[in-house]
A and B are shown apart, each in its own frame.
Chain A
Protein backbone atom coordinates (compact mmCIF):
# COMPACT_ATOMS: atom_id res chain seq x y z
CA UNK A 1 0.00 0.00 0.00
CA UNK A 2 3.04 2.28 -0.01
CA UNK A 3 2.39 4.26 -3.10
CA UNK A 4 4.57 7.31 -3.23
CA UNK A 5 2.66 10.34 -4.36
CA UNK A 6 5.76 11.68 -6.11
CA UNK A 7 5.00 9.35 -8.99
CA UNK A 8 1.88 11.35 -9.72
CA UNK A 9 2.49 12.80 -13.18
CA UNK A 10 -0.30 15.33 -13.38
CA UNK A 11 0.49 17.11 -10.14
CA UNK A 12 1.00 20.72 -11.11
CA UNK A 13 -1.96 22.39 -9.49
CA UNK A 14 -0.17 25.64 -8.65
CA UNK A 15 -2.92 28.21 -8.47
CA UNK A 16 -5.53 25.76 -7.19
CA UNK A 17 -3.26 24.45 -4.47
CA UNK A 18 -2.26 28.00 -3.49
CA UNK A 19 -5.91 29.00 -3.21
CA UNK A 20 -6.68 25.88 -1.18
CA UNK A 21 -3.81 26.59 1.21
CA UNK A 22 -4.81 30.25 1.51
CA UNK A 23 -8.37 29.28 2.45
CA UNK A 24 -7.17 26.75 5.03
CA UNK A 25 -4.80 29.42 6.39
CA UNK A 26 -7.62 31.96 6.63
CA UNK A 27 -9.71 29.42 8.53
CA UNK A 28 -6.88 28.72 10.94
CA UNK A 29 -6.21 32.41 11.57
CA UNK A 30 -9.80 33.53 11.99
CA UNK A 31 -10.86 30.35 13.78
CA UNK A 32 -8.84 31.43 16.83
CA UNK A 33 -11.55 33.98 17.59
CA UNK A 34 -14.67 31.86 16.90
CA UNK A 35 -16.48 30.36 19.88
CA UNK A 36 -19.44 28.06 20.57
CA UNK A 37 -22.26 29.46 22.72
CA UNK A 38 -24.55 27.34 24.86
CA UNK A 39 -27.60 29.50 25.46
CA UNK A 40 -30.43 27.43 23.99
CA UNK A 41 -31.65 23.83 24.07
CA UNK A 42 -30.14 21.27 21.69
CA UNK A 43 -27.75 22.89 19.22
CA UNK A 44 -25.23 25.49 20.37
CA UNK A 45 -24.68 28.61 18.27
CA UNK A 46 -21.60 30.54 17.21
CA UNK A 47 -20.02 33.78 18.35
CA UNK A 48 -16.98 35.96 17.70
CA UNK A 49 -14.37 37.07 20.27
CA UNK A 50 -14.71 40.75 19.44
CA UNK A 51 -12.43 41.74 22.33
CA UNK A 52 -10.46 39.42 24.65
CA UNK A 53 -13.38 39.30 27.09
CA UNK A 54 -16.32 40.17 24.82
CA UNK A 55 -18.22 37.82 22.51
CA UNK A 56 -20.75 39.06 19.96
CA UNK A 57 -23.53 36.71 18.89
CA UNK A 58 -26.80 36.62 17.00
CA UNK A 59 -29.53 37.71 19.43
CA UNK A 60 -32.07 35.15 18.21
CA UNK A 61 -29.79 32.27 19.26
CA UNK A 62 -29.57 33.47 22.87
CA UNK A 63 -32.64 31.86 24.41
CA UNK A 64 -31.79 32.32 28.06
CA UNK A 65 -30.30 35.17 30.09
CA UNK A 66 -28.47 33.03 32.61
CA UNK A 67 -26.35 29.90 32.77
CA UNK A 68 -24.70 30.69 29.47
CA UNK A 69 -21.44 28.94 28.73
CA UNK A 70 -18.97 29.57 25.94
CA UNK A 71 -16.49 27.07 24.53
CA UNK A 72 -13.31 28.91 23.59
CA UNK A 73 -11.13 28.01 20.59
CA UNK A 74 -8.64 26.28 22.93
CA UNK A 75 -11.40 23.95 24.13
CA UNK A 76 -11.98 25.54 27.54
CA UNK A 77 -15.58 26.01 28.62
CA UNK A 78 -16.17 29.27 30.51
CA UNK A 79 -19.25 30.96 31.98
CA UNK A 80 -20.52 34.07 30.24
CA UNK A 81 -22.93 36.80 31.26
CA UNK A 82 -25.31 38.60 28.93
CA UNK A 83 -24.17 42.23 28.77
CA UNK A 84 -26.97 43.32 26.48
CA UNK A 85 -29.07 42.42 23.48
CA UNK A 86 -30.77 44.20 20.62
CA UNK A 87 -33.65 42.50 18.88
CA UNK A 88 -33.72 45.08 16.07
CA UNK A 89 -30.23 44.29 14.77
CA UNK A 90 -30.18 40.65 15.99
CA UNK A 91 -27.04 41.29 18.02
CA UNK A 92 -26.18 40.27 21.56
CA UNK A 93 -23.05 40.84 23.61
CA UNK A 94 -21.64 38.42 26.18
CA UNK A 95 -18.94 39.16 28.76
CA UNK A 96 -16.43 36.49 29.70
CA UNK A 97 -14.66 36.23 33.02
CA UNK A 98 -10.89 35.77 33.11
CA UNK A 99 -10.63 35.45 29.35
CA UNK A 100 -7.24 36.23 27.91
CA UNK A 101 -7.41 34.98 24.34
CA UNK A 102 -6.60 37.27 21.43
CA UNK A 103 -9.63 38.92 19.86
CA UNK A 104 -10.60 38.67 16.20
CA UNK A 105 -8.73 40.64 13.59
CA UNK A 106 -11.51 42.92 12.40
CA UNK A 107 -11.59 44.09 8.80
CA UNK A 108 -13.77 46.62 7.04
CA UNK A 109 -16.94 45.28 5.43
CA UNK A 110 -16.90 48.25 3.04
CA UNK A 111 -13.83 46.76 1.33
CA UNK A 112 -15.87 43.82 0.00
CA UNK A 113 -17.02 43.50 -3.60
CA UNK A 114 -19.73 41.33 -5.09
CA UNK A 115 -18.12 38.05 -6.15
CA UNK A 116 -15.37 38.07 -3.51
CA UNK A 117 -14.75 34.65 -2.00
CA UNK A 118 -15.77 34.55 1.65
CA UNK A 119 -15.93 31.94 4.39
CA UNK A 120 -18.39 31.51 7.23
CA UNK A 121 -16.68 30.16 10.34
CA UNK A 122 -18.74 28.74 13.15
CA UNK A 123 -18.37 26.36 16.04
CA UNK A 124 -21.48 24.34 16.65
CA UNK A 125 -21.37 20.57 16.34
CA UNK A 126 -19.19 19.15 19.09
CA UNK A 127 -17.35 22.49 19.52
CA UNK A 128 -15.20 21.80 16.46
CA UNK A 129 -14.59 24.55 13.97
CA UNK A 130 -16.79 24.40 10.87
CA UNK A 131 -16.43 26.33 7.63
CA UNK A 132 -18.47 27.04 4.55
CA UNK A 133 -17.36 28.76 1.37
CA UNK A 134 -19.20 31.07 -0.95
CA UNK A 135 -19.25 34.51 -2.47
CA UNK A 136 -20.65 37.92 -1.67
CA UNK A 137 -23.94 37.85 -3.54
CA UNK A 138 -25.36 41.35 -3.05
CA UNK A 139 -24.03 44.57 -1.57
CA UNK A 140 -25.99 47.74 -1.12
CA UNK A 141 -26.32 50.67 1.23
CA UNK A 142 -27.73 51.11 4.71
CA UNK A 143 -31.04 49.43 5.46
CA UNK A 144 -33.54 49.06 8.24
CA UNK A 145 -34.63 45.67 9.54
CA UNK A 146 -38.33 44.96 9.95
CA UNK A 147 -37.85 45.54 13.65
CA UNK A 148 -36.43 48.99 13.02
CA UNK A 149 -32.72 48.27 13.46
CA UNK A 150 -30.31 50.33 11.39
CA UNK A 151 -27.65 48.31 9.55
CA UNK A 152 -24.86 50.19 7.78
CA UNK A 153 -24.70 47.97 4.71
CA UNK A 154 -26.83 45.25 3.13
CA UNK A 155 -24.62 42.18 2.65
CA UNK A 156 -26.20 39.09 1.18
CA UNK A 157 -24.16 35.90 1.04
CA UNK A 158 -24.20 32.95 -1.31
CA UNK A 159 -23.10 30.37 1.21
CA UNK A 160 -24.68 27.85 3.53
CA UNK A 161 -25.58 29.05 7.04
CA UNK A 162 -25.67 25.64 8.69
CA UNK A 163 -27.50 24.89 11.92
CA UNK A 164 -25.70 26.81 14.66
CA UNK A 165 -24.01 29.14 12.19
CA UNK A 166 -25.93 32.27 13.14
CA UNK A 167 -23.31 34.36 14.94
CA UNK A 168 -20.53 32.85 12.87
CA UNK A 169 -17.76 35.02 11.47
CA UNK A 170 -17.75 36.24 7.88
CA UNK A 171 -14.11 35.91 6.91
CA UNK A 172 -12.36 37.28 3.83
CA UNK A 173 -9.65 35.46 1.88
CA UNK A 174 -6.92 36.97 4.04
CA UNK A 175 -8.46 35.69 7.25
CA UNK A 176 -9.92 38.93 8.59
CA UNK A 177 -13.40 39.03 10.13
CA UNK A 178 -15.58 41.26 7.94
CA UNK A 179 -19.00 40.64 9.46
CA UNK A 180 -21.26 38.53 11.64
CA UNK A 181 -23.51 36.07 9.80
CA UNK A 182 -27.13 35.54 10.67
CA UNK A 183 -30.13 33.87 9.13
CA UNK A 184 -32.42 35.57 11.64
CA UNK A 185 -32.90 38.99 10.03
CA UNK A 186 -34.71 38.23 6.80
CA UNK A 187 -36.62 34.96 6.84
CA UNK A 188 -33.64 32.68 6.83
CA UNK A 189 -31.73 34.54 4.12
CA UNK A 190 -27.96 34.37 4.67
CA UNK A 191 -26.97 37.92 5.58
CA UNK A 192 -23.96 39.46 7.26
CA UNK A 193 -24.03 42.37 9.70
CA UNK A 194 -21.13 44.67 8.80
CA UNK A 195 -18.33 45.22 11.31
CA UNK A 196 -19.11 48.93 11.70
CA UNK A 197 -22.64 48.09 12.86
CA UNK A 198 -21.38 45.36 15.20
CA UNK A 199 -18.85 47.83 16.66
CA UNK A 200 -21.48 50.52 17.27
CA UNK A 201 -24.11 48.21 18.71
CA UNK A 202 -21.61 46.27 20.86
CA UNK A 203 -20.21 49.53 22.25
CA UNK A 204 -23.64 50.77 23.27
CA UNK A 205 -24.75 47.41 24.64
CA UNK A 206 -21.65 47.20 26.81
CA UNK A 207 -22.27 50.69 28.24
CA UNK A 208 -26.05 50.74 28.55
CA UNK A 209 -27.19 47.14 28.13
CA UNK A 210 -29.64 48.11 25.44
CA UNK A 211 -29.94 50.21 22.30
CA UNK A 212 -31.74 53.49 22.88
CA UNK A 213 -34.47 54.25 20.33
CA UNK A 214 -36.55 57.31 19.78
CA UNK A 215 -40.21 57.14 20.84
CA UNK A 216 -43.37 59.03 19.95
CA UNK A 217 -45.96 56.88 21.72
CA UNK A 218 -48.13 56.51 18.65
CA UNK A 219 -49.72 53.58 16.87
CA UNK A 220 -50.25 54.27 13.18
CA UNK A 221 -51.28 52.59 10.00
CA UNK A 222 -51.20 53.72 6.36
CA UNK A 223 -54.34 55.22 4.80
CA UNK A 224 -55.08 56.29 1.26
CA UNK A 225 -55.90 59.98 0.79
CA UNK A 226 -58.32 61.15 -1.85
CA UNK A 227 -56.80 62.55 -5.00
CA UNK A 228 -58.41 65.93 -4.34
CA UNK A 229 -56.98 66.10 -0.83
CA UNK A 230 -53.52 65.07 -2.03
CA UNK A 231 -53.63 67.83 -4.65
CA UNK A 232 -54.95 70.43 -2.26
CA UNK A 233 -52.18 69.71 0.25
CA UNK A 234 -49.51 69.31 -2.43
CA UNK A 235 -48.37 65.92 -1.11
CA UNK A 236 -46.01 63.73 -3.16
CA UNK A 237 -47.85 60.51 -2.25
CA UNK A 238 -51.49 59.61 -1.76
CA UNK A 239 -50.58 57.58 1.30
CA UNK A 240 -50.31 58.93 4.85
CA UNK A 241 -50.52 57.50 8.36
CA UNK A 242 -53.62 57.51 10.51
CA UNK A 243 -53.10 57.54 14.27
CA UNK A 244 -54.88 54.55 15.78
CA UNK A 245 -53.52 54.69 19.32
CA UNK A 246 -51.90 57.31 21.53
CA UNK A 247 -49.87 56.15 24.51
CA UNK A 248 -51.03 57.93 27.73
CA UNK A 249 -48.40 60.44 28.88
CA UNK A 250 -46.30 59.64 25.82
CA UNK A 251 -44.47 62.36 23.88
CA UNK A 252 -47.19 62.58 21.22
CA UNK A 253 -50.04 62.85 23.73
CA UNK A 254 -48.21 65.64 25.53
CA UNK A 255 -47.99 67.43 22.18
CA UNK A 256 -51.76 67.09 21.69
CA UNK A 257 -52.04 64.22 19.20
CA UNK A 258 -55.45 62.54 18.99
CA UNK A 259 -56.70 59.24 17.63
CA UNK A 260 -57.92 59.88 14.10
CA UNK A 261 -55.33 62.51 13.24
CA UNK A 262 -53.60 61.74 9.95
CA UNK A 263 -49.84 62.26 9.94
CA UNK A 264 -48.69 63.57 6.55
CA UNK A 265 -45.19 64.85 7.36
CA UNK A 266 -42.63 64.63 10.16
CA UNK A 267 -39.71 67.00 10.56
CA UNK A 268 -40.49 68.48 7.15
CA UNK A 269 -40.40 65.08 5.37
CA UNK A 270 -43.62 63.62 3.94
CA UNK A 271 -44.51 60.24 5.46
CA UNK A 272 -46.39 57.53 3.62
CA UNK A 273 -45.37 54.49 5.64
CA UNK A 274 -44.25 53.68 9.18
CA UNK A 275 -40.70 53.19 7.80
CA UNK A 276 -40.61 56.94 7.15
CA UNK A 277 -41.36 57.53 10.81
CA UNK A 278 -38.81 54.93 11.98
CA UNK A 279 -36.18 56.84 10.02
CA UNK A 280 -36.71 59.76 12.43
CA UNK A 281 -36.43 57.64 15.57
CA UNK A 282 -32.73 56.80 15.66
CA UNK A 283 -31.02 57.46 18.98
CA UNK A 284 -29.69 60.79 17.66
CA UNK A 285 -33.28 62.14 17.66
CA UNK A 286 -33.93 61.48 21.36
CA UNK A 287 -34.71 64.79 23.08
CA UNK A 288 -35.10 66.67 19.79
CA UNK A 289 -38.30 68.47 18.87
CA UNK A 290 -39.92 67.29 15.66
CA UNK A 291 -42.70 69.12 13.85
CA UNK A 292 -45.53 66.80 12.88
CA UNK A 293 -47.94 67.93 10.15
CA UNK A 294 -51.33 66.37 10.71
CA UNK A 295 -54.72 66.45 9.07
CA UNK A 296 -57.48 67.12 11.52
CA UNK A 297 -61.02 67.92 10.40
CA UNK A 298 -59.87 68.44 6.83
CA UNK A 299 -57.28 71.07 7.75
CA UNK A 300 -53.57 70.81 8.29
CA UNK A 301 -52.30 71.45 11.79
CA UNK A 302 -48.84 71.26 13.27
CA UNK A 303 -47.77 69.63 16.51
CA UNK A 304 -44.32 69.87 18.06
CA UNK A 305 -43.35 66.53 19.61
CA UNK A 306 -40.28 66.12 21.78
CA UNK A 307 -38.94 62.64 20.94
CA UNK A 308 -38.66 60.46 24.02
CA UNK A 309 -36.73 57.25 24.62
CA UNK A 310 -38.52 54.00 23.97
CA UNK A 311 -39.42 52.31 27.26
CA UNK A 312 -37.90 48.86 27.66
CA UNK A 313 -40.32 45.98 27.74
CA UNK A 314 -37.83 43.20 28.36
CA UNK A 315 -37.37 42.80 32.10
Chain B
Protein backbone atom coordinates (compact mmCIF):
# COMPACT_ATOMS: atom_id res chain seq x y z
CA UNK B 1 0.00 0.00 0.00
CA UNK B 2 2.87 2.31 0.86
CA UNK B 3 4.47 1.77 -2.54
CA UNK B 4 1.15 2.49 -4.24
CA UNK B 5 0.91 5.78 -2.36
CA UNK B 6 4.43 6.72 -3.31
CA UNK B 7 3.63 5.93 -6.93
CA UNK B 8 0.58 8.17 -6.73
CA UNK B 9 2.56 11.09 -5.38
CA UNK B 10 5.18 10.63 -8.09
CA UNK B 11 2.45 10.65 -10.73
CA UNK B 12 0.96 13.88 -9.45
CA UNK B 13 4.30 15.64 -9.14
CA UNK B 14 5.23 14.53 -12.67
CA UNK B 15 1.91 15.94 -13.77
CA UNK B 16 2.56 19.25 -12.02
CA UNK B 17 6.02 19.52 -13.59
CA UNK B 18 4.64 18.80 -17.05
CA UNK B 19 1.87 21.37 -16.68
CA UNK B 20 4.49 23.94 -15.61
CA UNK B 21 6.64 23.12 -18.65
CA UNK B 22 3.72 23.41 -21.06
CA UNK B 23 2.63 26.70 -19.49
CA UNK B 24 6.17 28.06 -19.73
CA UNK B 25 6.33 27.27 -23.45
CA UNK B 26 2.90 28.83 -23.99
CA UNK B 27 3.82 32.00 -22.16
CA UNK B 28 6.86 32.43 -24.45
CA UNK B 29 4.54 32.67 -27.48
CA UNK B 30 1.77 34.78 -25.93
CA UNK B 31 1.86 38.55 -26.33
CA UNK B 32 -0.20 41.44 -25.01
CA UNK B 33 -2.08 43.27 -27.72
CA UNK B 34 -3.12 46.87 -27.17
CA UNK B 35 -5.63 47.61 -29.86
CA UNK B 36 -8.41 50.12 -30.30
CA UNK B 37 -10.16 49.82 -26.97
CA UNK B 38 -8.93 47.81 -24.05
CA UNK B 39 -6.60 45.03 -24.97
CA UNK B 40 -6.19 41.35 -25.31
CA UNK B 41 -3.68 38.67 -26.08
CA UNK B 42 -2.11 37.31 -29.21
CA UNK B 43 -0.11 34.31 -30.36
CA UNK B 44 3.30 34.42 -32.04
CA UNK B 45 2.07 32.15 -34.82
CA UNK B 46 4.94 31.77 -37.26
CA UNK B 47 7.86 33.47 -38.88
CA UNK B 48 7.55 34.88 -42.40
CA UNK B 49 11.08 35.37 -43.54
CA UNK B 50 14.03 36.64 -41.53
CA UNK B 51 12.57 40.06 -40.76
CA UNK B 52 8.87 39.41 -40.29
CA UNK B 53 6.73 37.51 -37.83
CA UNK B 54 3.02 36.76 -37.84
CA UNK B 55 0.87 37.31 -34.79
CA UNK B 56 -2.71 36.02 -34.59
CA UNK B 57 -5.32 37.66 -32.40
CA UNK B 58 -9.06 38.43 -32.53
CA UNK B 59 -10.49 40.97 -34.95
CA UNK B 60 -12.27 42.58 -32.02
CA UNK B 61 -8.92 43.12 -30.27
CA UNK B 62 -7.04 44.67 -33.20
CA UNK B 63 -9.44 47.23 -34.62
CA UNK B 64 -7.19 49.92 -36.10
CA UNK B 65 -4.45 49.80 -38.76
CA UNK B 66 -1.80 49.37 -36.07
CA UNK B 67 -1.67 47.70 -32.67
CA UNK B 68 0.82 47.86 -29.82
CA UNK B 69 2.42 44.61 -28.72
CA UNK B 70 4.20 43.72 -25.52
CA UNK B 71 6.37 40.65 -25.99
CA UNK B 72 6.91 38.09 -23.21
CA UNK B 73 10.39 39.63 -22.60
CA UNK B 74 8.78 43.05 -22.01
CA UNK B 75 9.73 44.64 -25.33
CA UNK B 76 7.11 46.97 -26.83
CA UNK B 77 6.59 46.91 -30.60
CA UNK B 78 4.11 48.29 -33.05
CA UNK B 79 2.54 45.72 -35.31
CA UNK B 80 0.82 46.29 -38.61
CA UNK B 81 -2.69 44.85 -38.80
CA UNK B 82 -2.39 43.04 -42.13
CA UNK B 83 -5.83 41.48 -42.33
CA UNK B 84 -8.96 41.05 -40.27
CA UNK B 85 -11.87 38.66 -40.65
CA UNK B 86 -14.74 39.87 -38.43
CA UNK B 87 -16.82 36.81 -39.38
CA UNK B 88 -14.24 34.46 -37.89
CA UNK B 89 -13.12 37.12 -35.36
CA UNK B 90 -9.52 36.76 -36.50
CA UNK B 91 -6.80 39.29 -37.20
CA UNK B 92 -3.33 38.72 -38.63
CA UNK B 93 -0.63 41.15 -37.50
CA UNK B 94 3.00 41.31 -38.49
CA UNK B 95 6.06 42.78 -36.84
CA UNK B 96 9.41 43.46 -38.52
CA UNK B 97 11.35 41.45 -35.94
CA UNK B 98 13.68 38.50 -36.23
CA UNK B 99 14.35 35.66 -33.84
CA UNK B 100 10.96 35.52 -32.21
CA UNK B 101 9.69 32.13 -31.07
CA UNK B 102 6.70 30.52 -32.76
CA UNK B 103 3.91 28.46 -31.27
CA UNK B 104 3.52 24.73 -31.93
CA UNK B 105 0.29 24.55 -33.85
CA UNK B 106 -1.96 21.55 -33.31
CA UNK B 107 -4.55 19.96 -35.58
CA UNK B 108 -7.91 21.13 -34.26
CA UNK B 109 -9.61 18.45 -36.35
CA UNK B 110 -8.53 15.79 -33.89
CA UNK B 111 -9.92 17.39 -30.75
CA UNK B 112 -11.89 15.11 -28.41
CA UNK B 113 -14.48 16.19 -25.85
CA UNK B 114 -12.97 15.79 -22.40
CA UNK B 115 -9.33 16.33 -23.33
CA UNK B 116 -7.34 18.72 -21.18
CA UNK B 117 -6.80 22.29 -22.33
CA UNK B 118 -4.77 25.22 -21.03
CA UNK B 119 -5.36 28.87 -21.79
CA UNK B 120 -2.90 31.73 -21.35
CA UNK B 121 -3.83 35.38 -21.55
CA UNK B 122 -4.26 38.60 -19.63
CA UNK B 123 -7.64 38.31 -17.88
CA UNK B 124 -8.54 41.67 -16.33
CA UNK B 125 -5.02 42.77 -17.18
CA UNK B 126 -3.28 40.03 -15.23
CA UNK B 127 -0.45 39.26 -17.63
CA UNK B 128 0.33 35.62 -18.41
CA UNK B 129 -2.43 34.13 -16.27
CA UNK B 130 -3.20 30.46 -16.87
CA UNK B 131 -6.53 28.66 -16.82
CA UNK B 132 -6.96 24.90 -17.09
CA UNK B 133 -9.98 22.85 -18.07
CA UNK B 134 -11.30 20.47 -20.67
CA UNK B 135 -12.91 20.60 -24.09
CA UNK B 136 -16.64 20.91 -23.45
CA UNK B 137 -17.93 20.43 -26.97
CA UNK B 138 -16.81 20.72 -30.58
CA UNK B 139 -18.53 21.21 -33.92
CA UNK B 140 -21.66 23.20 -34.61
CA UNK B 141 -22.47 24.90 -31.33
CA UNK B 142 -25.57 26.90 -30.66
CA UNK B 143 -23.77 29.75 -28.87
CA UNK B 144 -21.21 30.08 -31.68
CA UNK B 145 -22.46 31.66 -34.88
CA UNK B 146 -19.51 30.43 -36.92
CA UNK B 147 -19.14 27.22 -38.90
CA UNK B 148 -16.93 25.69 -36.26
CA UNK B 149 -15.99 26.39 -32.67
CA UNK B 150 -14.29 24.81 -29.73
CA UNK B 151 -16.28 25.20 -26.54
CA UNK B 152 -14.12 24.80 -23.44
CA UNK B 153 -14.92 24.28 -19.77
CA UNK B 154 -12.29 26.79 -18.67
CA UNK B 155 -12.77 30.06 -16.84
CA UNK B 156 -11.78 33.02 -19.01
CA UNK B 157 -12.31 36.76 -18.72
CA UNK B 158 -11.85 39.90 -20.83
CA UNK B 159 -8.15 40.05 -21.70
CA UNK B 160 -8.02 36.38 -22.69
CA UNK B 161 -9.34 37.31 -26.14
CA UNK B 162 -6.88 36.44 -28.86
CA UNK B 163 -4.80 34.24 -26.58
CA UNK B 164 -3.94 30.58 -27.09
CA UNK B 165 -5.98 27.53 -26.11
CA UNK B 166 -3.55 24.60 -26.05
CA UNK B 167 -3.80 20.84 -25.68
CA UNK B 168 -1.90 18.60 -23.24
CA UNK B 169 1.15 18.65 -25.55
CA UNK B 170 1.24 22.43 -25.48
CA UNK B 171 0.12 22.71 -29.08
CA UNK B 172 -2.15 25.64 -29.85
CA UNK B 173 -5.51 24.25 -31.00
CA UNK B 174 -7.52 27.45 -30.81
CA UNK B 175 -7.65 31.21 -30.33
CA UNK B 176 -9.86 32.21 -27.40
CA UNK B 177 -12.53 34.54 -28.61
CA UNK B 178 -15.41 34.96 -26.21
CA UNK B 179 -17.26 33.66 -23.17
CA UNK B 180 -20.89 32.52 -23.48
CA UNK B 181 -22.89 30.95 -20.68
CA UNK B 182 -19.72 30.56 -18.61
CA UNK B 183 -18.03 28.56 -21.37
CA UNK B 184 -15.07 29.72 -23.43
CA UNK B 185 -15.45 29.78 -27.20
CA UNK B 186 -12.31 29.44 -29.29
CA UNK B 187 -11.62 29.57 -33.01
CA UNK B 188 -10.06 26.26 -34.08
CA UNK B 189 -6.41 26.37 -35.21
CA UNK B 190 -7.32 24.83 -38.58
CA UNK B 191 -9.63 27.78 -39.13
CA UNK B 192 -6.69 30.13 -38.41
CA UNK B 193 -4.45 28.28 -40.86
CA UNK B 194 -7.20 28.56 -43.48
CA UNK B 195 -7.40 32.30 -42.80
CA UNK B 196 -3.64 32.68 -43.22
CA UNK B 197 -3.64 30.56 -46.38
CA UNK B 198 -6.34 32.90 -47.72
CA UNK B 199 -3.83 35.74 -47.33
CA UNK B 200 -1.38 33.82 -49.50
CA UNK B 201 1.07 33.30 -46.65
CA UNK B 202 3.30 30.27 -46.56
CA UNK B 203 5.15 30.98 -43.40
CA UNK B 204 6.25 27.39 -42.83
CA UNK B 205 8.06 27.38 -46.19
CA UNK B 206 9.47 30.82 -45.56
CA UNK B 207 11.00 29.61 -42.32
CA UNK B 208 12.66 26.76 -44.11
CA UNK B 209 13.87 29.07 -46.87
CA UNK B 210 15.41 31.32 -44.26
Contact = CB atoms under 8 A, between A and B. Distances in A.
Interface residues on B, range: 35 or more
A23 B15 contact: no
A10 B15 contact: no
B46 A20 contact: no
A279 interface: no
Interface residues on A, range: 35 or more
A27 B143 contact: no
Contacts of A133: 114, 133-134, 153
Interface stretch (A93-101, A123-131, A145-153): A123-131
Nearest to B21: A10
Interface stretch (A11-19, A50-58, A73-81): A11-19
Interface string B7-35: 00001001100110110010000000000
Given A125-B137, A130-B151, A133-B134, A24 B18 contact: no
Contacts of A27: 112-114
Interface in A1-44: 1-3, 5, 8, 10-17, 19-21, 23-28, 31
Interface stretch (B36-44, B68-76, B81-89, B163-171): B163-171
Contacts, number: 119
Given A16-B116, A19-B116, A125-B137, A5 B193 contact: no
Contacts of B205: 1-2
B196 interface: yes
A15 to B, nearest CB: 4
A28 B134 CA distance: 14
B33 to A, nearest CB: 22
Interface string B139-166: 1111100000001010000000000000
A128 B143 CA distance: 12
Given A13-B21, A17-B168, 8 more contacts: A2-B205, A3-B207, A15-B14, A16-B168, A26-B114, A28-B114, A125-B137, A125-B141
